[in-house]
Amino acid sequence: MQSARREWGVRVATAEEGRSEAESKATAPVKASVPVKASAPASTLAPVAAGRVAFTYPAFLWYETARIFTVVGTEMQSVAVGWQIYAITHRTLDLGLVGLAQFVPGILLFLVSGHAADRYDRKKLLIACYAGFATCSALLLLETLYQGWNHTRSIAPIYAVVVLLGVVRSFNGPVSRAILPQLVREEHFQNAVAWHSTAFQGATILGPSLGGLIYAIAKGPGPVYAGSLASACIAIIATTQMKTVTPPRPRGISAKTVLAGMHYIWNHKVVLGTISLDLFAVLLGGAVALLPAYAQDILKIGPQGLGLLRAAPAIGAGATAILIAFRPLRKRVGWTMLTCVALFGVFTIVFGISRNMYVSLAALILVGAVDMVSVVIRATLVQVATPDEMRGRVNAVDMIFIGASNELGQFESGFTAQIFGTVPAVVIGGIGTLVVTVLWAAMFPQLRNADELVASSKS
């Protein structure tokens, strides 16, 4: 029954190919399955209007509203958890264990969470995940109040909640990404990804800054966790207002259907090269887990300064995402991604050796800016290329790569810092990112030669 439905693939056009086929396909009609205020295609809109076309979809607006409050709350919470744990133990390894505690549930549950995102109503799953975030914030608040009343200081209950948070995130990641293509037309998807990333980065600027400020004023994490709880509740309300058209979901379950996401990525080498490059680059080069140590012991700027450090990458990423929204990535996307990953390593090294707060902030802003380019390329490639009925499973696999680069990367940073010291750990990671970039450029010629992303169909 392949002729009964249209499957979207992403072909990576090389510089040697002509543009006639791409131009003819760009004019093909795309059926709308979601409510939209303006129906004019992006190509007929003025540049400024085309840059904001994703906001003509009401469901996208509600989705981003919920997403912003969720990210603000979780980022506030991350600052409080990191500072609270480091204040108790003063061990960088314990900061790394926070990332590991969140990553392990994801690696254990990614097959289940991906299949759930494809089988069940994604809107209802999203609401359930936001309720899970609210529960985690409530538990952290209760734990903090309990330890305050009993004058105890223990990190074990915090880790227990962080593990639960990892379970919630393992389901939230695939479903929140898989639902996005249901909210906008395929032709407007790169614009939606850019604005989605902008909203995310804006929230990650506000969240850590607000969390660090509240922590410093209140002299404790309790009010931060209360704010995170309130944010999650607002996200639930916003999501209930979101209207989507839910396509039929597969009802059967088998090893073949569950493993389909891994099979798809393995057979699409450009996708494999893209997400694996992002995995190893951020795994080695990420320094987020060590920011509490930098803020307290190296830069000596306190919890408010920690909030600024956590927000700095998001400033660069947000500015880059807005630029991409108005000036989409069109040519030499392969070399663009490889160059930006290499610069990610360079700016990480600069941050690692800096002893000046302003130099450190500038380096982190640039880290976020170049990282955003690879985020947009990867997200657009994976989402547009994948048929809707298996997006959840493919995104679950992709989320494992992302989780490995972020949460497992935090553990790697904390572990190496415990052995070599905080500054050497960051510098070694930056050098590792540069090495990985050179290796991937040689191992994945399809990625290196990618010129532009072109939608294609088959029947």
pLDDT tens digit sequence for 49-101: 567 787 888 889 999 999 999 999 999 998 899 888 888 888 878 887 887 88
3-state secondary structure of 72: helix
Question: In the prediction, which pLDDT does 382 show?
Answer: 66
Instruction: With both helix axes pointing from N to C terminus, report the angle between 92-119 and 156-178 in degrees, rounded to the nearest 10.
Output: 40
DSSP state of 233: H
| Cα-trace Rg, the chain | 22
* Residue 351 or 302, more confident: 351
Confidence of residue 4 (pLDDT cuts 50, 70, 90): very low
CATH number at residue 226: 1.20.1250.20
User: Please, where are the H alpha helices in 245-356?
Assistant: 255-258, 260-267, 269-285, 291-293, 302-326, 333-353
Please check whether residue 127 lies inside any domain of the structure: yes
DSSP H or E stretch at residue 395: helix 391-403
Per-residue pLDDT band at 137 (split at 50, 70, 90)? very high
Tell me the two tokens of residue 389.
């009925």
- Asked whether residue 31 is domain-assigned, the answer is no
d(CA 416, CA 283): 12
Residue 45 has pLDDT above 80, yes or no: no
Is residue 172 in some structural domain?
yes
Does residue 104 fall inside a structural domain?
yes
Task: Please give the helix or strand (H or E) that residue 162 lies within, else none.
Answer: helix 156-178
Number of domains in the chain: 1
Considering Cα of 379, then 380, then 381, then 384, what sign does the dihedral take? positive
- For residue 453, the cross-strand partners are 12
pLDDT above 70 for 372: yes
Q: Are 379 and 317 in contact (CB under 8 A)?
A: no
The residue among 121, 134, 131, 233 whose CA lies nearest residue 178 is 121
Classified as helix, coil or strand, 12 is strand
Q: Is residue 16 part of a domain?
A: yes
Which amino acid does the sequence have at 400? I
State the sign of the Cα–Cα–Cα–Cα dihedral 172, 174, 179, 181: positive
Average pLDDT estimate for 305-317 = 85
Do residues 387 and 378 make contact, with C-beta atoms less than 8 angstroms apart? no
C-beta separation of 328 from 275 below 8 A = no
pTM for the full predicted model: 0.64
Domain contains 28: no
> Please, are residues 391 and 249 in contact by the beta-carbon 8 Å criterion?
no
Nearest-angstrom CA–CA distance, 447 and 333: 8
In eight-state DSSP terms, residue 294 is: I
Q: Are 215 and 80 in contact (CB under 8 A)?
A: yes
- Whether residue 338 lies inside any domain: the answer is yes
The rounded distance, in Å, linking the Cα atoms of 102 and 100 is 5
Q: Can you tell me the distance from the alpha carbon of 433 to that of 421, in angstroms, rounded to the nearest whole number?
A: 19
Q: Does 39 fall in a domain?
A: no
Contact 376, 457 (CB under 8 A): no
Task: Domain of residue 347: give its range.
Answer: 2-20+51-458
Q: How far apart are CA 368 and CA 355, in angstroms?
A: 19
Termini Cα distance of the chain: 9
Q: Report the pLDDT value the prediction gives residue 108, as an integer from 0 to 100.
A: 81
